[in-house]
């Protein structure tokens, strides 16, 4: 990653407390190249891809999932309990703590601002504050705290900032490969504004194709689906999206409905049988926008002037009336007045950070009640396109495929790149495949479009 001139890096391996390096470029952690025993077999009509990269958020120890969701029977207010400060020493941010837009970049930003503002109330100028996690929530919180006169240190477990926003910049690809969040809907004007300050290019993805084994189909009307959710939201008790559809006389396994559920799963990471109908986000409307540039500078600009320790996983937070002791995975411990924790819900559920004393029941209850959904993405590129249509978003309807949603980047960028997005149980299955199996499954899903 690049670090701007004023960003300060603490080298954890070399002793965080003593080493303060300005404007340095950390060595990237080597990623093991998977040993290939055979090349992935493309199905007839789909040429072998010239390049492929896929995400692994489901197994990533610093994410353990893609986005939080509200399971059936859980109130959205549970997120307030997740984000509730403890003893005015520990504060919580991250998309999962946002009641209005959980699972999104918007939610991450507003949670970071909220937690930092909460912390500034009891704090006095010049206090030492640690932020755990350098994703969008952590970077936003750090910027607000620095502006508020705090001495801020950010601890990030990875060798890069950005968390679940991650552009892989690789010379063999014509544009950065976006492994995390990169799509923006009608509600994302504020995020897009911030991105444009960070010089991240954005294109519009125009046109949708609905396609089944027999050929192109009319667009699927979301109105009956939306009406079923509206009716469920007026019911005295919460029900799953599946039950809400069934109650409205809609068969969830009908191909058209299943296609809409695949879109919902790719957006929330959750299956219709586990997702609350009271708090299910609406199906996306309109043409989305997509980031085409490296998103790292967008995060780096928020961290400008803040001390950031990369490769610094926090293992334990011990707190009392006088402050918080932060112990890193390396064994080093540092003292702070207050801490904002922004790690993903999946990491909190895994208990990979020890809290001493344990968090109050209400925080712990919220951690176990909320759900962490699975979303995976696979990027494929070809020297020549094998498809002919010019629609940017493809939905597979009534076909037994591993990946039902595809983004065609050719119309917007001129590059022969297709991006598969899969969510919910299908993503959890996809995550279990080895590299070759995953590419084979992706290519097989594209045979429909030949």
Ligand X SMILES: Cc1cc2nc3c(=O)[nH]c(=O)nc-3n(C[C@H](O)[C@H](O)[C@H](O)COP(=O)(O)OP(=O)(O)OC[C@H]3O[C@@H](n4cnc5c(N)ncnc54)[C@H](O)[C@@H]3O)c2cc1C
The footprint of ligand X (CB under 6 A) covers 55, 57, 62-63, 66-67, 94-95, 103-105, 107-108, 132-138, 155-158, 163-165, 180-183, 313-314, 342-344, 347, 352-353, 375, 377
- 3-class state of residue 119 by DSSP: helix
Which CB sits closer to ligand X, 48 or 169? 169
* Bridge partners (DSSP) listed for residue 310: 11
Q: Name every residue whose Cβ is closer than 8 Å to that of residue 267 and which is 6 or more positions away in sequence.
A: 281, 283, 284, 423
Place of tokens 């080298």: 11
Q: How far is the CB of 372 from ligand X (least distance, A)?
A: 10
Place of tokens 């690049």: 2
C-beta neighbour count of 59 within 10 angstroms: 12
Q: How far is the CB of 239 from ligand X (least distance, A)?
A: 25
Q: Name every residue whose Cβ is closer than 8 Å to that of residue 290 and which is 6 or more positions away in sequence.
A: 178, 182, 183, 184, 202, 203, 204, 205, 407, 409, 412
C-beta neighbour count of 320 within 10 angstroms: 11
8-state DSSP, 44 = T
Determine the Cα–Cα distance for residues 268 and 70; give it in Å rounded to an integer. 9
Q: How far is the CB of 86 from ligand X (least distance, A)?
A: 17
Which CB sits closer to ligand X, 94 or 371? 94
Place of tokens 């995400």: 55
Which CB sits closer to ligand X, 94 or 398? 94
Which CB sits closer to ligand X, 395 or 398? 395
Q: How far is the CB of 68 from ligand X (least distance, A)?
A: 8
Q: How far is the CB of 352 from ligand X (least distance, A)?
A: 6
Which CB sits closer to ligand X, 62 or 387? 62
Q: How far is the CB of 21 from ligand X (least distance, A)?
A: 19
Place of tokens 């899969």: 422
CA dihedral 158, 296, 430, 246 (to 10 degrees): 120
Which CB sits closer to ligand X, 201 or 212? 201
Direct distance between the N- and C-terminal alpha carbons of the chain, in angstroms, rounded to an integer:
38
């Amino acid at each position: 990653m690049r670090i701007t001139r004023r960003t300060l890096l603490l080298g954890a391996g070399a002793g965080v407390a003593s080493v303060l390096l300005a404007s340095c470029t950390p060595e990237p952690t080597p990623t093991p190249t998977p040993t290939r025993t055979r090349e992935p077999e493309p199905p007839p009509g789909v040429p072998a891809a010239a390049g492929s990269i896929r995400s692994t958020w489901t197994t990533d120890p610093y994410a353990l999932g893609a986005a939080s969701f509200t399971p059936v029977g859980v109130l959205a207010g549970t997120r307030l309990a997740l984000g509730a400060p403890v003893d005015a020493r520990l504060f919580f941010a991250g998309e999962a703590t946002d009641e209005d837009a959980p699972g999104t970049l918007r939610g991450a930003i507003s949670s970071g601002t909220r937690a930092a503002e909460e912390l500034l109330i009891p704090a006095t100028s010049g206090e030492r504050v640690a932020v755990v996690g350098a994703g969008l929530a952590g970077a936003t919180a750090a910027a607000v705290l620095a502006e508020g006169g705090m001495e801020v240190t950010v601890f990030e477990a990875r060798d890069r900032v950005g968390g679940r926003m991650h552009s892989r910049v690789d010379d063999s690809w014509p544009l950065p490969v976006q492994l995390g969040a990169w799509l923006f809907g009608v509600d994302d004007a504020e995020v897009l504004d911030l991105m444009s300050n960070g010089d991240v290019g954005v294109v519009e993805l125009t046109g949708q194709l609905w396609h089944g084994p027999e050929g192109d189909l009319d667009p699927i009307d979301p109105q009956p689906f939306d009406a079923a959710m509206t009716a469920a939201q007026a019911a005295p008790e919460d029900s799953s999206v599946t039950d809400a559809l069934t109650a409205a006389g809609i068969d969830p396994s009908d191909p058209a409905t299943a296609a809409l559920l695949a879109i919902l799963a790719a957006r929330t990471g959750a299956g219709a049988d586990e997702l609350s109908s009271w708090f299910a986000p609406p199906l996306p409307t309109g043409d989305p926008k997509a980031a085409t540039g490296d998103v790292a500078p967008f995060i780096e600009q928020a961290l400008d002037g803040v001390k950031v320790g990369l490769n610094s996983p926090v293992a334990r937070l011990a707190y009392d009336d006088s402050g918080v002791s932060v112990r890193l995975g390396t064994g080093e411990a540092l003292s702070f007045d207050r801490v904002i924790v922004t790690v993903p819900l999946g990491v909190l559920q895994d208990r990979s950070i020890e809290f001493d004393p344990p968090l109050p029941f209400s925080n712990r209850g919220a951690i176990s009640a909320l759900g962490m959904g699975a979303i995976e993405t696979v990027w494929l590129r070809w020297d020549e396109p094998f498809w002919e249509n010019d629609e940017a978003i493809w939905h597979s309807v009534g076909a037994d495929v591993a990946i039902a949603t595809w983004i065609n980047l050719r119309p917007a960028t001129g590059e022969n790149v297709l991006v598969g997005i899969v969510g919910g149980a299908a993503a959890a299955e996809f995550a279990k495949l080895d590299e070759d199996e995953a590419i084979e499954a992706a290519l097989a899903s594209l045979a429909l479009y030949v």
